[in-house]
Structure 1
Amino acid sequence: ATLPEARLSASGNWAPLGGGEGGARRTALQFRLDVDDSGALLRRFGKDGLVRGGKGRLEGRVGWIGTPFDLDLGTLAGTLRLDVERGQFLKADPGAGRLLGVLSLQALPRRLVLDFRDVFSEGFAFDFVRGDARIDQGVIHTNNLQMKGVNAAVLMEGSADLARETQDLKVVVVPELNAGTASLIATAINPAVGLGSFLAQFLLRQPLQSAATQEFRVSGGWADPQVEKLARPTPAPTPSPPLQ
């Protein structure tokens, strides 16, 4: 399928569970969505005012119990990969963007120090948003989502329940203060390693950014997210070798 804003290629099947001819059937789909303008594509589907720009792709494999025309969130499973660059999440009412509202992080400003408040309250402008996710029974899990902007970067891990519209996320806001920070954040986080190991390495290499980095837990419903600022332990200094 081709639109002025995007191109979708997909293949799949609708087959009986367990190979039998009776009972429930499962839809399986492999897809790739190449997008030239995310904001324009959302506008076409009645979701205007959520994103400006954004070029990239969303691809993956998904499946659910039921027909291809009746997506069942409770049985949805699969894997996703997102890689979008040069866009901006626009200021919107909580819950208006549903899952996009989880990414836009507009619940954070009231808990951020002044240096970062404008970065998110007016809509986070990003150089890229990328990461991997797996879906299990309608719950999306990620451990390597990255968003890089001009003044800050965001690292995220946790889950979002598509059916219940709830979230449980750890969000790390990292200041972009020098070329070293930007270079490290530009490195993709391997999902086999995850955010925890990546962040520990980053904080040890960048003590100045370590002092300014902020961590949050975002939980509750998408329309009324609860934000808790977390105390972040200071990385232990590398011990000096014993004197001979």
Structure 2
Amino acid sequence: TDLMERFGITSGIQQAPFEINANMNWDGAPWSMKTPTLQGNVSTEFGKGVVSEVSGAARLLGLFSLDSIIRKMQLDFTDVFDKGMAFNSITGTGKIQDGVFITNDIVMDALAGEMQIRGIANMTSRMVDAEVKFTPDITSGLPMLTAFAVAPQTALYVLAISTVISPVVEVFTQVNYEVKGPLDSPTVKEISRSKGEYKLPEKLREQAK
């Protein structure tokens, strides 16, 4: 937390044990960090917890706006993420070159699916440019299925109570976002969605009735 506070940010992650390992160096005195000369490597691992939507400065490793991503997903997929995003773990590594943090392997194993983050964050200019890929776990329950279904929820209901032996639902299997702008207030924009077919299991058909 001292490292994250050094950059003037907070984690935005609630109720989660975590470990952050950093090996860094910079020009000048140890107590006077010169960000443009910062070099090193960082790795992090969080246990079970929740990414809260309430912290306007929430950043993983102080750099990527998870709370802004969650707020965007709340708008896109109503009710599923209204209380933030619960997760089993978050892991990631990155390197710092001349004050620029680079990562391609931040992974959140969430109850609702898997989120992957890759990108760069300039700690001198305090700008971020990242790509976020979310793969929903459609099997986790009816709310996830209805949220990520291509068809309206009413159509899902009709399908669930129909006499079709093996109903197939078209769903969004992946949603991609970009995160760009100032570290304190980046813009999160959806750039694409992938579709696929999902065979509706009996347990979800029963939930829909």
- What TM-score bracket applies, with the shorter chain setting the length? 0.5 to 0.7
- Cα gap change, 1:95 to 1:154, in 2 (>3 Å): same
Query: Alpha-carbon deviation of 1:83?
Result: 1.2
Relative distance call for 1:125 and 1:209 in structure 2 (3 A) is: farther
Give the count of matched residue pairs. 165
Contact 1:174–1:209 (CA under 8 A) maintained in structure 2: no
Q: Does 1:217 align with 2:178?
A: yes
Q: Pick from 151, 164, 182: which aligns with 2:125? A: 164
Q: Cα distance, 1:177 vs. partner?
A: 2.7
Q: What code does the residue aligned with 2:122 have?
A: D
Q: Equivalents in 2 of 1:104, 1:225: separation in Å?
A: 10
1:98 CA displacement: 8.9
Aligned to 2:95: 134
Q: What TM-score results when the alignment is normalised by the length of structure 1?
A: 0.56
The Cα shift of 1:225 comes to 1.2
Unaligned runs of 5+ in 1: 1-5, 9-32, 34-40, 180-207, 236-244
Find the counterpart in structure 1 of residue 64 from structure 2: 102
SS at match of 2:21: strand
Structure 2 residue aligned with 1:58: 20
For structure 2, list consecutive stretches of 5 or more residues without a partner in the other structure: 141-168, 197-209
- Report the Cα distance in structure 2 between the residues aligned to 1:48 and 1:80, rounded to whole angstroms: 16
AA aligned opposite 1:76: L
After superposing the two structures, state which structure 1 stretch, 122-131 or 104-113, moved more.
104-113
For 1:209 and 1:57, the matched residues in 2 are separated by 40
1:150 aligned to 2:108? Answer: no
Asked whether the equivalents of residues 10 and 62 of structure 2 are also in contact (C-alpha less than 8 Å), the reply is no
Return the offset for 1:99. Answer: 5.6
Bigger shift: 158-167 or 101-110?
101-110
Counterpart of 1:113 in structure 2 is 76
The two structures, once aligned, show a CA RMSD in angstroms of: 3.5
**Does the 8 Å contact 2:172/2:193 carry over to 1?**
no
Tell me if structure 1 keeps the 8 A contact 2:70–2:84: no
**Aligned partners of 2:131 and 2:19: how far apart in 1?**
24
Aligned to 2:156: none
Partner residue, 2:137: 176
Mapping of 1:31-46 within 5 angstroms?
A: none
Residue 37 of structure 2 corresponds to residue 75 of structure 1: yes
Q: For each residue in 1:184-217, what CA deviation from the matched residue of structure 2 results, as whole angstroms up to 9, or x when unmatched?
A: xxxxxxxxxxxxxxxxxxxxxxxx9984210011
Paired residue for 1:231? Answer: 192
For the residue of structure 1 that corresponds to 2:33, the secondary structure is coil
1:82 and 1:131 in contact (8 A); partners too: yes
* 3-state secondary structure, aligned to 1:102: coil
Q: Map of 1:8-23 to 2, 5 A cutoff? A: none
Q: Sequence identity of aligned pairs in percent?
A: 19
